[in-house]
Amino acid sequence: MSDALRRVLVVWLLIAVVTVLYWPTPLSYAVAWTDAENKGNTHGFLIALMCIALIYVRRDKLARPIPRVSLGACLVLVGLSLLWLVAYRASIQTAHQLLFPLILAAAVYAVFGPQIGRACLFAVGFLYFALPFWGFINGPLQALTVVATRGILRLIGVPVEFYGNFIHIPEGTFAIEGGCSGLHFLVVAMAIAAYYGELHRDSLRHRMLLGALAVVLALLTNWIRVSVIITAGHLTHMQSYLVRVSHYGFGWAVFAVAMAAFFLLALRIPPPLNAAVSTDGGQRTEPAAQPIAFAVALVVAALAPGPALALMAARADATATLTPPQSTFVRGWSGPLRAPTDWTPVFKGADREFFAMYRRGSAAVEWYSADYAFQHQGKKLFGYDNSLISARMFNMLDQGVVDAGSVRFNYLQLRNPEGAQSVLWYAYEVGAHDMTSGLLAQLWYGARSLTGPVESRVSAFRAKCDPDCTAAHAELRRFVDSICDNASRFGDCRRDP
């Protein structure tokens, strides 16, 4: 077996080891890649296979340099492992998903040294095209699609009216939703352009040119797709297959034509001539390579801290229990009372919830809290599945931060569909710390939970703006002051009767 093929196998082995040790992250990739409902990341497995294949294709680059284990890269790997640990324990999925390719790259660099590490860098970095973090540009792409579709439909003479993301034609109404943004086309097109440039060993400037061409074609693909579907609805009185059944396959058919055009144009864009660079470096004496087995063992030891501590923390979670519920009596207020309300907070997986109304004369305050004995993905204080307010029930008019003695709260000024306004105060608590940032609360939980189970809580209070919102803020302050004295931490200061 040649040295090049042997090193390819070692790189593949490293990828397998990292995948097994950091299994929660690859598992989260697989969940996104098999999401048949959203479909925005279903190209992920293909991207992963292309990464693995490219390492073999570039085996010539792995043959020349003598591998030398990098102790500095091992230290970097330990740091990345601990960062991954905090992100994983904090259930910030995007963070540990973004860290995973860096850990792969650092592992290869640590085993083989800088030359082979750089040779594998693109193959590992290509994995970012499969990650579900690209959604951050979905909103701008959606808005751009609305503008482009408006221009195309008016250009071809379709009678149309636009109201935000809604498109009205005489035969019906279409909505350009988030899934119509063309994000999937864009990411796949950029991946194709990047891979093409790498296979042809193009210069950075030429690769950027190819990437720009792919982006333009991907955007045009989506705009044409949306415009054709609306036009088909207009011409067939909404009876077209594209309108009644599905337009998903049609979009990829148009995309395939666009990518065919990309390859034809790419072949006609001459890359700049690059002067040949000698890689021999003349006759020189290089230090002997250390055994690969020793390097791999050293790197596995550097990889181990994050997964090992995560396993220990998970075992501690299995024994976590909430402290007994404290008294909900509030001095000077009658309650807790059950009352009908249009406010319905949702905190998925909470181990304990409390929701009640309190009265003091004509004033009324609603109190909600959700407690967690421990947290994990899908069961946490701050996440997409949680909501203090329903966007369908409330419009947010204002927001900010208020001080209430020793505790700071976020506040939201809300208005319901009937026009009634209210003020909502809320804060997070992790262990002995209160905070207004949900992201900071998650990060603090991720670090704090490494020393043992730690309880966390969100507490929220709402008062109606009667007669105005200034009065609502005043009542909320009185209510919080009735629960806490200024020297006490909020979570521990519920007064007993």
343 and 313 share one domain:
no
Q: Is residue 283 part of a domain?
A: no
Per the CB < 8 A criterion, the answer to whether 7 and 63 are in contact is yes
Tokens 């979009």 sit on residue: 251
Residues 26 and 152 in one domain: no
178 is in which domain, residue-wise? 134-268
Chain center to CA of 385: 13
Residue 496 has pLDDT above 50, yes or no: no
Q: Report how many domains make up the chain.
A: 3
What sign does the CA torsion over 75, 77, 82, 83 have? positive
Q: Are residues 406 and 467 in the same domain?
A: yes
Q: Does residue 316 have a pLDDT over 50?
A: yes
Phi, psi dihedral angles at 86 (to 5 degrees): -65, -45
Using one digit for the tens of pLDDT, what is the confidence trace for 264-288? 999 888 776 654 444 444 444 444 4
Per-residue confidence (pLDDT) for residue 278, from 0 to 100: 42
> Residue 160 in 3-state DSSP?
coil
Strand ranges, E, within 66-171: 161-163, 166-169
Residue 446 included in any domain: yes
User: Is position 279 within any domain?
Assistant: no
Give me the helix-helix angle, 305-317 and 71-89, nearest 10°: 20
Asked if the structure places residue 277 within a domain, the reply is no
State whether 349 and 416 are in the same domain. Answer: yes
- What pLDDT digit, counting tens, does each position of 298-313 carry? 999 999 999 999 999 9
In a domain, 273, yes or no: no
Quick one: pLDDT at residue 21?
A: 96
- Token pair for residue 468? 């105005």
* Whether residue 371 sits in one domain with residue 306: no
30 shares its domain with 61:
yes
Same domain, 344 and 400: yes
Domain membership flag for residue 276: no
The reply to whether 285 falls in a domain is no
The answer to whether residues 393 and 446 belong to one domain is yes
**Pair 488, 361 in one domain:** yes
Give domain status of residue 11, yes or no.
yes
Helix H or strand E encompassing 173: strand 172-175
Instruction: Using alpha carbons, list the distances in angstroms from residue 31 to 48, 205, 218.
Output: 14, 36, 25
Whether residue 150 sits in one domain with residue 110: no
What are φ and ψ of residue 423, in 5° steps?
A: -120, 135
When pLDDT is averaged across residues 376-393 and rounded to a whole number, the result is: 86
- What are the pLDDT digits (tens) for 67-118? 778 888 999 999 999 999 999 999 999 999 999 999 999 999 999 888 888 8
pLDDT in the model for residue 490: 52
Residues 60 and 195 in one domain: no
- Region 206-230 average pLDDT: 93
pLDDT at 321 over 50: yes
Residue 121 sits in the same domain as residue 215: no
